[in-house]
Each structure stands twice: as structure tokens, then as C-alpha cells.
Amino acid sequence: MDMASQTSPGGFAFDNSFARELEGLYAPWQAAQTPAPRLLKFNLALAEEIGLDGTALNGALGADIFSGNRLPDGAAPLAQAYAGHQFGGYSPRLGDGRALLLGEVIGRNGQRRDIAFKGSGRTPFSRNGDGKAALGPVLREYLIGEAMHALGLPTTRALAAVTTGESIWRQEGELPGAVLTRVAASHIRVGTFQFVAAQNDPAALRQLADYVIRRHYPDRETDGNPYLAMFRAVIERQAALVAGWMTVGFIHGVMNTDNMTLSGETIDYGPCAFMDRFDPDTVFSSIDENGRYAYGNQPMMANWNLARLAETLLPLFADDTERAISLATEVLNTFPQRYQTHWLNRMRAKLGLRGSQPEDMALANDFLTAMDGQDVDYTQAFRHLGEVASSSTIETHDQALAALRARYADSAALNAWLPRWQQRIQDERSPAERAAAMHAVNPLYIPRNHKVEEALGAASEHGDMQPFEQLLKVIQQPFSEQADAQDYREPAPVAVAANYQTFCGT
């Protein structure tokens, strides 16, 4: 640890390259003061990973800093500017309406990370909003970010959740106010490029792209066409990310272009949720009235967002517009295959398939088809399949098959599929080894929607953090059996889940 981090309270050692290099893409701003901040939850492991003094921050000092009442040494708070397509409609000026980038730190692994507030008050981009956040959405983002991290998916993460001691008003009524502190590889979005492109300033566009390449894709800097190489790399990361979402049943809920990062991390856990019963048309978001961002649409919408990014980058790809469009189209058209490759590799692991066979794509898709319309829990189906794979005797095999079939309203399609799968998984591994490999990638626990709501309701309405802490503990070890956690494995009853909705929290 350097001298700056030793002497700065909390160990902050900022190096704020965004503020230094991208003037014009932000407004310097200060967080609103809060009357009675209290540190409700602090991510000690993450703090130490990014080089902060977790012991010093896990108390009154942390409450003051993470509420916005005390500016840490070296911070340069700013509200970032960006545009974006929201549910298909373009907004030329969005920006951080309730967020502030405090600055950047370089962690123990040498990685540069943003530290930002969410819910810290009005900014020049707030429009008619109050810039505040309620406790429920803050804790949801904490939970889901940690779940995604434990599942091995690239994600922003919560560093701290602070209650402010004030009330805010939403459609549901009076709610306790809170501020989330979020850590990200960066907060640069497709919408950031859309904002710059709209200024018709080629120099500013190049400056932003050069910054992204240096920060996220330094290996592309010496490419013959570094901007096209950057675009290709962004496509690759997004294909991998969305394939990961799909294979764990995650639904983002608001895949607007201002919610797609150039770093390839999942960002903005607003109306998100995990799917229980398999249905490609599943939508939870109350504002997604037409199902634009339904579970099954997510790969297509990622491709659409990347096309909007390509439009902004055309002047950098080539001087000749037709040539630029040709280059962009050629690279963009690789997304479906890239996505399919990542998805199939993940599905092979989930199904216990070793190596690669031509029929694997059909085998994976047909397993999902066998689930569709059968009220089958997506997460449990794969775990039960792992139990079938682990069977070493006829008796245990029959018991595992019976447990799997019992989950289906009609198991006819499953029964037709099973012999194909059983033939495909034959290899030199023992049943126990094969099952262990499957269980290592198929979660036993996800943030079940009814459990998330129980935790958030207890914290918001009664100040009881115990359900939150218990749920957090379970989802941080998603692949391993945990004592007294059976209740966290089960989906909500159909009657409870039927009308479940999530909200954006603004």
C-alpha cells in the first residue's frame, strides 16, 4: 500500500482519469447531505480487494463517507453525461440523475475501479426526479450483485449501503431513504458514446474511444484498426455476459443502451429478477409492458444495442462511410455466433457433456423445450439432472429419475429426451465425478424472488436485517449444500409467483 493510502482516512488513493481526460462528459457535483446516516451493510471483502481500509470504514467513518456527508481525500465527485435508447426510444440527454462518480481507485490486483454513489441526491441530469433512493432498491442491488458475482458473472458490486435518516416518497408511499456505493470496472456505457456522437465532434469521439481502449482493451491499442478491434472485443464480452445471464435464468429487465457497459459488466439492478419456472416469455419489470426485455429476447436486444454502438463508431472505423458501414456490419454480424458459442459451452457444462458433438445444440435446446409449459423450475431441473448423472446403481438411478419427472406436469417430452442425453454423457468419468462437475456449474440457490421480497420488506418496514443477512449468506455460496437452507431452494408457490412484478426504484 502506498503512502497516500496509508495517510488517507479509509485508505482511499484516488486516480481520477475520467475527470482528468474526458472533460465535457460530466458535471462536477456534490452529494446531498443526509441528516442521520447509518452504515447498514458494508462489503469488507470487496473493500480490501480494491485497497481500502475496511476496518476503518466499517463504522462511523464509513457512514459519513458512504452517505455523502464527508468527501474522502482525493475524490472528485461528478455526474456523468450520457444518452440512450430507453425501450427503443432515443433520449439525447440522460446522465446520472441520482448517481455520482466519486473517483477511481487501483486495487491490489492492479485493476482500476470506479467508486460511485447511487441515491445521493439531485444532479443537473435529474430532470423531475429527487435523486434519492429507497432502502429496498438499494438492498436489492446489493443482493443481486453479490449473487451474480458468486455465480461467476461479470458484475458491478455494492461496497456499502447506508440509511440516510430521511424519508422519501414513491408510489408505494413513505419509504426509508438510502445510498448505495457501487464499484465498477467503469460506468462508461453505449449511451456515453451516443451522447458524444450526437455532438458531431470527431475529436471528442476519438478521445473517448482511445480512453476505453486504454482502460479496458489495452491489447487492442496496437491493432491496425484499434477502434474496430475494440468493437469486436466489446461484442465478445457482451456475448459471453448475456450467455451467462441466460444459463442462470437471470432477467435484467431494462436493457436500455444506457445500461450496457463497454467493460462487459452487468450494471443497474433495477427491475431485475431470476426466473423460477421456465418460460422464454417471462417478464417481471412493471415498465416492460410489451415484453421487449423478456428472458428469451435478451440476446436479440444485446445485438440491437451493439448496433447502436456501431452507429456511433462509424467515423472511427473508416473515412469512407460505406466502407465504415461494411466493416461495422461484418463485425456486428458475428454476435449471434459468438453468443451461441458461449451459450452452448455453458450448456454443455450444465448438462455434463464432455467434448463437442454435432448434436449438442439440439440436445441442449430440446431439454429446454421439454421444460416449456410444464411448470418446471429452471434451476432445479439442472440440479435434478445432476442427481440422475450421479446414480451408480439402478435403484438410485430410478429414484433420481422419478424425482426429476415429478417436477413436470407432463414428462412425455422429457422421457423422449433422456435416452439421447444418457447416451451422450457416457465417458471415462465415474458417475460421482460427472455429477460433481455438473453441480459445480448448476446453482442450488439463486435469489428466489419471494425470498428477496421478504428480506427487503423486513428491512424497509421493520428495520430487521436478519432475513437479508441470511439470504445473502446463502446466495454467496450458490453451488454448495448448506445446512438449514432447504427453504431457499424452492420457488414460490404458483399463486404467489403468478403476478410477481419488479420496479425500477426511481
Q: How many CA atoms lie within 13 A of 395 on its CB side?
A: 0
Phi, psi of 327, rounded to the nearest 5 degrees: -65, -45
Q: Is 258 a catalytic residue?
A: yes
**Annotated catalytic residue, options 258, 279, 288, 377:** 258
Phi, psi at residue 334, to the nearest 5°? -85, -10
Taking each helix axis as running N to C, give the angle between helix 335-351 and helix 378-390, from 0 to 180 degrees, rounded to the nearest 10. 50
Cell matching residue 85: 435508447
Which residues, including other chains, have CB under 8 Å from residue 419's CB and lie 6 or more apart?
none
Rounded CA separation 75/49 (Å): 19
Cα–Cα distances (Å) from 6 to 1, 66, 366, in that order, read 7, 19, 57
b or e along 437-468 (b: 16 or more beta carbons within 10 Å of the residue's beta carbon)? bbbebbbbbbbbbebbbebbeebbeeeebebb
The distance from CA 190 to its chain's CA centroid, rounded to whole angstroms, is 15
Please give the Cα distance from 132 to 179 (Å, whole number): 8
Taking alpha carbons only, the member of 155, 185, 179 closest to residue 165 is 179
The rounded distance, in Å, linking the Cα atoms of 172 and 39 is 24
Q: HSE on the CB side for 195, CA within 13 Å?
A: 21
- CA distances 49 to 18, 54, 61, 112, 113, Å, are 21, 10, 19, 11, 10
Cβ–Cβ < 8 Å for 25, 192: yes
Q: Is 10 exposed, middle or buried (0-12, 13-18, 19+ CB in 10 A)?
A: buried
Q: Cα-flanking dihedrals φ and ψ of residue 176, to 5°?
A: -70, 135
Among 163, 398, 408, which Cα is nearest to 278's?
408
The cell for 188 is 462508461
DSSP secondary structure string for all residues of 289-322:
TT-TT-GGGHHHHHHHHHHHHHHHHHHHH-SSHH
The stretches of 8-157 forming alpha helices (DSSP H) are: 17-21, 44-49, 54-57, 60-66, 135-150
Separation of CA 171 from chain center: 26
Catalytic residue ranges = 258
